[in-house]
């Protein structure tokens, strides 16, 4: 079967790209080993229930983000902010609080980065952050397809160009008691729509290169210890489901996430191959980047793009 665009990988990124293309009338077919080949349609194959934090500065303290990125970081955050609210991703601007004693340098970095922030008793709050519930896409199964254009939305498709640029990192969350969105020593905690969730994670040096997305008891125990140290109550009998390809409304889960070598998403055409595009390396900040990155990729496919892709996200940065 022939079509205009094939989307390879239907996780959060692939679904965002797929649904945007479908909504704009593009003849698009998607593939993911978990669901096979899919076409836009009425039957909902996906029910992500995904929700998570949308952070206005990746997952770094603003001072570190400014130190690493400088004015390029300010440009990037402005691009993200302009695309934050969009159909299919219900954004709730709760703010995200960081618990840290070093509040003055952080507030100063926020000013430089153009982020709205205020001091709080335990640190500072980024007013433009919040929580997102990602969209559900209705699609129906179909047969294999070849497209004029291929968009790769997974790091693990066998595309060799990506081999030395992305790596699998396993993240795990536990369930915790009620809090507004906060980032403390061990991770983040948030509640959405009255339903309480927690997302916390283990240190990367324990996690890089992992391929099993099952929650591990050792990591759960470590996360619970960190939570207690920060004055957050773990919910020990919360059901921990087996796995999640992304952040999830399940109270406890683990997933393999593609992290890029410089920590930023990789978006755009593969060098020397203009008919193959990529959107991956979203790391643990997928919901922060996706609205902007998926919009940009789809606009560029349709030749309708007016937004400029910050160079720090483009594929050409690796040349």
Which residues in this chain contact ligand FAD in the complex, by CB under 6 A?
A: 8-14, 31-34, 52-53, 153-154, 156-157, 171-173, 199, 245-247, 253, 255, 257-258, 280, 282-288
Burial class for 217, CB neighbours closer than 10 Å (0-12, 13-18, 19+): exposed
Q: How far is the CB of 48 from ligand FAD (least distance, A)?
A: 9
Minimal CB distance residue for ligand FAD: 11
- CB-wise, 92 or 108, nearer to ligand FAD? 92
CA separation, residue 97 to residues 100, 125, 201 (Å): 9, 4, 17
Kindly state the smallest distance separating residue 116's Cβ from ligand FAD, in Å. 19
Helix (H) or strand (E) holding 156: none
Find the shortest distance in angstroms from Cβ 180 to ligand FAD: 14
Nearer to ligand FAD, 7 or 117 (CB): 7
Give 108 or 157: the residue with its C-beta nearer to ligand FAD. Answer: 157
Asked if 135 and 13 touch (Cβ cutoff 8 Å), the reply is no
- Shortest CB 49 distance to ligand FAD, Å: 12
What is the CA 230 to chain-centroid distance, rounded? Answer: 25
Q: How far is the CB of 153 from ligand FAD (least distance, A)?
A: 5
Residue 36 CA to residue 30 CA, distance in Å, equals: 8
Phi (first) and psi of residue 101, to 5 degrees: -75, -20
Closer residue to ligand FAD (CB): 37 or 74: 37
CB 177 within 8 Å of CB 170: no
Nearest residue to 135 via CA among 203, 264, 44: 44
> Minimum Å distance from CB 311 to ligand FAD?
21
CA–CA distance, 237 with 253 (Å, rounded to integer): 14
CB 292 within 8 A of CB 80: yes
For ligand FAD, which is the closer residue by CB, 107 or 127? 127
Looking at beta carbons only, is 79 or 247 nearer to ligand FAD?
247
Please state whether beta strands 123-126 and 117-120 pair in parallel, antiparallel, or not at all (unpaired): antiparallel
């Amino acid at each position: 079967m022939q079509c205009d665009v094939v989307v390879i990988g239907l996780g959060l990124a692939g679904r965002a790209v797929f649904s945007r293309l479908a909504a704009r009338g593009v003849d698009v077919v998607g593939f993911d080993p978990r669901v096979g080949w899919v076409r836009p349609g009425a039957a909902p194959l996906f029910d992500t229930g995904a929700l998570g934090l949308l952070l206005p500065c990746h997952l770094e303290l603003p001072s570190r983000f400014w130190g690493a990125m400088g004015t390029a970081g300010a440009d990037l955050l402005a691009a993200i902010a302009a695309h934050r609210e969009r159909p299919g991703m219900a954004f709730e601007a709760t703010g995200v609080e960081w618990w840290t004693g070093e509040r003055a340098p952080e507030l100063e970095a926020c000013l430089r980065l153009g982020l709205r922030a205020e001091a709080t008793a335990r640190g500072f709050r980024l007013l433009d952050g919040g929580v997102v519930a990602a969209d559900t896409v209705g699609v129906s199964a179909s047969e294999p397809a070849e497209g004029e254009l291929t968009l790769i939305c997974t790091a693990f498709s066998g595309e060799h160009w990506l081999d030395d640029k992305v790596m699998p990192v396993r993240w795990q969350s536990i369930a915790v008691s009620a809090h507004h969105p906060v980032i403390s020593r061990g991770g983040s905690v948030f509640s959405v729509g009255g339903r309480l969730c927690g997302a916390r994670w283990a240190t990367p040096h324990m996690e890089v290169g992992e391929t099993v997305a099952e929650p591990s008891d050792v990591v759960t125990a470590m996360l619970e210890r960190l939570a207690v140290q920060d004055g957050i109550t773990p919910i020990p009998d919360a059901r921990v489901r087996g796995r999640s390809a992304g952040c999830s409304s399940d109270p406890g889960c683990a997933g393999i996430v593609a992290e890029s070598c410089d920590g930023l998403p990789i978006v755009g055409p593969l060098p020397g191959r203009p008919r193959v595009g990529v959107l991956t390396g979203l790391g643990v900040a997928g919901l922060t980047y996706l609205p902007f990155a998926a919009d940009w990729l789809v606009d560029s496919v349709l030749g309708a793009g007016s937004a400029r892709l910050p160079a720090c996200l483009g594929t050409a940065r690796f040349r």
